[in-house]
Amino acid sequence: MDREVQQLVEMGATAGQARAALNKYKDVMQAAEKFFEGEFENVAGDDSGRAHQAHSSATSRDPDVEMDQEDDDGELEDDEGSDAYIDYDSDDDGGMPGDSGAPKVNDPYAGIFFSKDRREEVIEIEEQSVFVSVPEINEKVEVMTQGRWMAGCAEGGEQSFLFSLYSQLGQSQLSDLDGVCPCPSGCGQTVKRQQSDFFAIYPKFSTYIQHLQSKVPQRCPKCQTEFCFACGEKISQDASDPLWHCSNLQGVILGVGLFMIERLFEQQKEESEIKETTERETKRRKTRDIDDDKIDTGSGKTKGGVGYAGELKEDSSGQAEAQANQFAKDSKIRALLAEVRVYLPSLQRPGGARPSDYLPHPSSLTHLRRRFNLITSELLRNDSLADMSDRHGLYFELLEWLETISSHESLCSMMPMPIMRSVSQQTVVKKTNTSTIRERKIIYEGSASPRELLEAISLQAQAALKGLESSKPPEDPSPEPNEEQKRKTVVADKGKSKGDALAEGNFDETAKLYGFCNRLLATTVQIDRSLRELKGDDFVTRMHESLPKAYTSASDTIYVDAGDTEEDAKEAYVKWATSSRFEYCDLTIPTTDNSDETLNYKHYFNNEIRMLANASIPKRSVAIAKELAILTTNLPVAWDSSIFLKVDDTRVDVIKCLITGPEGTPYHNGCYLFDVFLGANYNQSPPGVKYMTTNGGKYRFNPNLYADGKVCLSLLGTWSGPGWVPFKSTLLQVLLSIQSMILCEEPYLNEPGWASNAGTPQSKAYSANVRRMVVKTAMLDALQNPPEPFEDVIRTHFRLKARSLKKQLGNWLREDDHRALASDGAEYSSAGRNSSTSINDFKADIDTLKSLLNDL
């Protein structure tokens, strides 16, 4: 079966219909259009029993999709009696045609799945840019070469559609038949097409559209017949806009428009990266100069403890200017996206759908998957819902695109399809006797689909709305300001300080965040509804099962198998921790009566929590909403160290945190509990954080973790160094600082003035003492008396880690210095060394812990 027949079969034709269409119409695209118009409906063929699948894309067969009727060689089976074939369009609910006793098939897409485990290698030709003079605008414009037109396409089948359209509308050197448009009346007159007719890249998309509107309607100089320059067919007299005449125009307009969007997006991205690199280097030089000043030079200056005793202040200058620049960039992309979106296939088009809306050009899906998907991927990988809300204009337009695409039968499949992203490029230069050819070998790999990326943001939006429950905006909020009003606001804010500019209008910010979250969730619902209507309930159910689950409720606890090897345990651990890192639960203390007395909480900050019961502080609610949005999907999860949060169901300002000790530190695999409260002045002030794993207030695990639970950290205002920045610093930053900078490799160095003692006997002795405290309290006691509400988390953590933890304990016992456990460990007296007692105590703790691990 040759390639052209294969393409038509993949669109739903039988082999006989495909051959008949190609015999009459040599061009595969024209043959496809005539087939869909029903011209070859009565043609019998060797596989005439195969019906067109109403719910599959009418454009191309996607390599991500595996169909049951494929054989091992990838060829579609043509046997009329193939058991794999099911007529999805029949009225017998999926039974075999002609077999009333066949089992019913409720899920016609049961044989279709989307896999990210794909890798494609593509060779692309780098062509020199071509420019032509355009008298209308009195300047030269670039003409998109064939290489630029086809760049970024990882699918062989889709490349053929792009090549076919470019050859038809451009001036190809491969055939004299391409690049010309014959008069449809049959008078023999032809009009030559130039590449610049359809593929010129104008400074503005609107100028390109105006150019097409003047170029597309052609009048034959011989017989005066008016015809479309893109498809060569007659234009009806009642055509209000020639650009809606045929799908060829739709394909080329989307291709050029998306290229312009992608180019603008990449240019802005490169500019931002260059600016960030420059700013980082400037900040690094300042930091280095400050550190040099702090090194002991004999004048009494000494370098402070690692990460804490520095005097570097957070530079918040230029924030308003950066926001204004970002707004300007977003406005350009948003405007271009809105202009191009008009030409997306849409059956809900104002004024009624056009012919190309019903039968999109096969390259439309290709353009969207290559160019728009990459932009979607970049924007939805933004891990900050707050940033998205601030840039809501751009993101609202993105959501409009996703809704329009998902609502069309031929395009909706790209929502759950993995995005093919370039992971490596290699340029190869080939020289011939006459020219030099530059080729790029590009490796593409599957990544998260648009729907999967949207899921992570949707989870953040749900968490943010939960945080906004206490300060919902009015039912009829004021309308969104127009672009001119927004510009005036930015100008007015330039003279204000950062705190003033960000603190004012908090109610408006509440409404903005509330509206954005609801719009985002509405788009997610709309996409799923469209997929359900077009693909069926079972398809959507399977898709949801494959989506990441960022957080669970306490009632969703399930058993996780550790497997047979450590690699199995690592994989199981990361999967379990990802779904368990953020959970809602009840942190209140149960009462025996039904009184209306203010609830008490199992929390260090219980008194402060009770004082804020029923309080409505809009600024605080917005800050908490943004915080929850970040935490749901950004808490670090790894075999080496993870952070788990439990948030009260009804008081989302009440939080408990568990951090597992990082590998390579004396805290490794221990469980460290912190009580966190987002107080009345949050986020203008840092959260309240109390360390709870202290063995009843006896052990000081670190110079920055006191036995009374005090956490010394510059972000919390309890240590010198870069402090809390209102409206910018986050709880996540605090938790990450504790995980990486306090639970560190040499905790002895965290004390100011001791930073030069790395590797000294004092530092090693301090770490050895920490290990003894960790085994006794953060491991053994945590297992025997797991703190609420982390019982299941702690037991699962130790059960999955049991094999590796036993080895770790053996190494710690061999490395122990045989000293007695000290509650602080900062200093040891010579009398503190007692081999027989201390080693036996430490060994007894380890033996008991190993026994508990075996029981798990």
DSSP-assigned beta bridge partners for residue 122: 442
DSSP-assigned beta bridge partners for residue 430: 437
In the chain the first and final C-alpha atoms are separated, in Å, by: 60
Q: How far apart are CA 521 and CA 68, in angstroms?
A: 34
Place of tokens 């600016």: 275
Provide the CB-side half-sphere exposure for 125 (13 A, CA).
11
Residue type (1 letter), 631: L
Tokens of 329: 């960039």
Q: How far apart are CA 850 and CA 780, in angstroms?
A: 9
Tokens of 339: 């202009």
- C-alpha torsion sign, points 132, 135, 139, 143: negative
Which DSSP symbol is given to 71?
-
Which DSSP symbol is given to 66?
-
Contacts (Cβ under 8 Å, ≥6 apart) of 465: 514, 517, 518, 521, 625
Q: Three-state secondary structure along 746-804?
A: CHHHHCCCCHHHCCCHHHHHHHHHHHHHHHHHHHHHHHHCCCCCCHHHHHHHHHHHHHH
498-528 residues labelled b (16+ CB within 10 A) or e (exposed): beebbeeebeebbbbbbbbbebbbebbeebb
Contacts (Cβ under 8 Å, ≥6 apart) of 704: 308, 711, 712, 713, 719, 742, 750
Provide the CB-side half-sphere exposure for 479 (13 A, CA).
4
449 in Cβ contact with 419 (< 8 Å): yes
Which DSSP symbol is given to 418?
P
Long-range contacts of 381-388 (CB under 8 A, 24+ apart): 381/453, 382/457, 383/630, 383/633, 383/634, 384/629, 384/630, 385/457, 385/460, 385/461, 385/464, 385/513, 385/516, 385/517, 385/626, 385/629, 385/630, 386/513, 386/626, 386/629, 386/630, 388/457, 388/516, 388/520
Q: How far apart are CA 221 and CA 188, in angstroms?
A: 11
DSSP-assigned beta bridge partners for residue 819: 833
Strand blocks (E) in 113-160: 119-126, 130-134, 139-143
Tokens of 43: 């043609």
Tokens of 745: 């490799």
DSSP-assigned beta bridge partners for residue 583: 552, 646
Taking each helix axis from N to C terminus, what angle separates 791-815 and 835-855, rounded to the nearest 10 degrees?
A: 140
- C-alpha torsion sign, points 55, 59, 61, 63: negative
Q: Is residue 246 annotated as a catalytic residue, yes or no?
A: no
Taking each helix axis from N to C terminus, what angle separates 3-10 and 15-24, rounded to the nearest 10 degrees?
A: 120
Please pick, among 246, 517, 712, 744, the residue that the annotation labels catalytic. Answer: 712
670-701 residues labelled b (16+ CB within 10 A) or e (exposed): bbbbbbbbbbeebbbebbbbbbbbbeeeebbb
Q: How far apart are CA 493 and CA 486, in angstroms?
A: 11
Q: How far apart are CA 657 and CA 60, in angstroms?
A: 50
Residues involved in catalysis:
712
